[in-house]
Structure 1
Amino acid sequence: MLKRFPDREVMILDAEDHLIAALERQGYAVKDGQYQVFMTHDLRDLPAVSLPDGFVVRPITEADLARRVEVHQRVWHPSRVTEESYRNVMAAWPYRPDLDWVVEAPDGRFAAYCLMWFDDQNRVGELEPVGTHPDFRRMGLGAAVCFGAMRALRELGADQAIVYPVHDNPAETFYQHLGFRPYARTLTYSR
């Protein structure tokens, strides 16, 4: 039995009918508002992507730490990510440098990035986070870095990639253009 907490909210997936029924029996109702869309991309057929002259898509190396942090800070300004905090990310399981991809511009700056988290037991990888430097947007670099990372993921034996953008957000549209398809969404229930 669910305990009654009048000020509590519960987030579930729309496919969890048994939880929906239990919540509704306890007086909970769907709360309007933002929700996340769960999206998937089959890795068997990834399109070829061309880059502008002089741009390179690749995984990072230890020597790239400062530039990797800098691109994250520019994309998510203001950002709390520092070289020290990113070293902690890199030291955490299941981080893999071969799944931390960037697009390097001709001037040496990182123009876009995509970090993949690989679940080898379920053969799936999550893209999180992904971003393009403000100076390099609308050049196809976000797509290029995502597809580069997804190819690397496929080479490791993954079957699919997943993302969880907020609905009605530019990220959802971006992932749809890459070929991601929704399979579930979150519902928030409250009393």
Structure 2
Amino acid sequence: METLGTTELRLMQGLAQEVTAWRPELLNGDATVGELAWVWAKDFDALNRFWRHRLWFAGGRLAAWGWAHLPYQLPRDDGTLRESKTANLLWQAHPDSAALLSEILDWYDDVAGGGDRLLTVQSADAQAQAIVAAHGYAFDAKAGSDNGPWVQFNMRELTDVPDPALPDGFRFLAAQDVPAADAVNAHRAAWHTSSFTEGAFERVRRTWPYRADLHVLIAAPDGTLAATAIIWLDEATQTAEFEPVGTHRDFRRRGLGTALQLHGMQLARSAGAKRMLVACLGAPAHPEARNMYYGVGFRPLTRDLPQIKVAR
């Protein structure tokens, strides 16, 4: 299949739902319902020509998938380059079909070419760790170090969510309350290297299970959108996920991130969610987001173990 479209994406999200319901500790952090929707929708227009994918079926259901992101280099509006120099594999296998990871890796070797290959496995997934080692992968000591960009996956039950507290003059909004351009600018103000566009946001809004009432923002007294988060609600598993979460760089360290999460979790609970997921940098050198999530009740579920296969 040349293009990863909405049909394939929805199948991949369906597998995420099954793993979430049955063995959430085996769910890859980049293979959740919300993460798949966000990454696919925001990057499709710019990057889809650098993507390759394959689906594996068993008994009429999706049993595994691989999504290879090949190296690319694209110019930004400001003259800098957006680039990735290494192939990276996103993947997921149903726990009943875990051995299919071996076939995914063979396919990845074929499509990634001669360069270095990256992927991640979860710390709770001993079988995947053994399979990737047998295929020549080793723990990426740099990416997985105490200063590396590895990701920790966190979970929180929504049984007890305190009320949020905002500084005077700040107020909560939803994406349906603001122009699309303002929601895009709120994201870019929080993530200054982002190439997020109104066109990408339009695709996000059309991608299941996006809901404008669960895309939450905080407005400052002067009207600036000071914080933003999208909540992806999967009603089937009663699970919601924050992705992304960000605060305008001029409004940090005022408790806005904490308030936004508590507000978002209350909305998710009212919409039917019983638990919340969020990913963050897990390395000790990057404690800010992790400590914020701990402060609102999240606890670690699993973490990435970055793997690399160096080209010969």
TM-score (norm 2): 0.56
Q: Give the structure 2 partner of residue 11 of structure 1.
A: 120
Q: Indicate conservation of the 8 Å contact 1:111/1:136, yes or no.
A: yes
Secondary structure of 2:281 counterpart: coil
Q: Which has the higher helix share?
A: 2
Larger RCO: 1 or 2 (CA < 8 Å, sep 6+)? 1
19-28 vs 65-74, which deviates more? 19-28
Q: Give the structure 1 partner of residue 303 of structure 2.
A: 185
Q: Indicate conservation of the 8 Å contact 2:152/2:300, yes or no.
A: yes
- Distance, in Å, in 2 between the alignment partners of 1:47 and 1:71 is 25
4-13 vs 70-79, which deviates more? 4-13
Q: Within 5 Å, which residues of 2 pair with 1:3-152?
A: 3=106, 7-32=116-141, 33=143, 34=148, 35-61=150-176, 63-152=178-267
Secondary structure of 1:131 counterpart: strand
Q: How far 1:62 moved relative to its partner? A: 5.4
1:172 correspondence with 2:287 = no
Q: How far 1:31 moved relative to its partner? A: 2.5
Q: Indicate conservation of the 8 Å contact 1:57/1:144, yes or no.
A: no
Where in structure 1 are there 5+ consecutive unaligned residues? none
CA distance 1:10–1:157, shift in 2 (3 Å): same
The letter for the 1-side match of 2:190 is V
Where in structure 2 are there 5+ consecutive unaligned residues? 1-98
- Distance, in Å, in 1 between the alignment partners of 2:175 and 2:226 is 13
Q: 2:271 aligns with which of 156, 168, 191?
A: 156
- Distance, in Å, in 1 between the alignment partners of 2:123 and 2:190 is 31
CA distance 1:72–1:22, shift in 2 (3 Å): closer
- Length, aligned pairs only: 191
Q: How far 1:65 moved relative to its partner? A: 1.9
Q: How far 1:148 moved relative to its partner? A: 1.0
- Distance, in Å, in 1 between the alignment partners of 2:190 and 2:236 is 32
Q: Indicate conservation of the 8 Å contact 1:57/1:103, yes or no.
A: yes
CA distance 1:110–1:10, shift in 2 (3 Å): closer
- Distance, in Å, in 2 between the alignment partners of 1:136 and 1:159 is 30
Cα RMSD (Å) of the superposition? 2.2
Q: Percent identity?
A: 35
Provide runs of 4+ in structure 1 moved above 4 Å: 3-7
Q: How far 1:137 moved relative to its partner? A: 1.3
Secondary structure of 2:302 counterpart: strand
Q: Indicate conservation of the 8 Å contact 2:174/2:217, yes or no.
A: yes
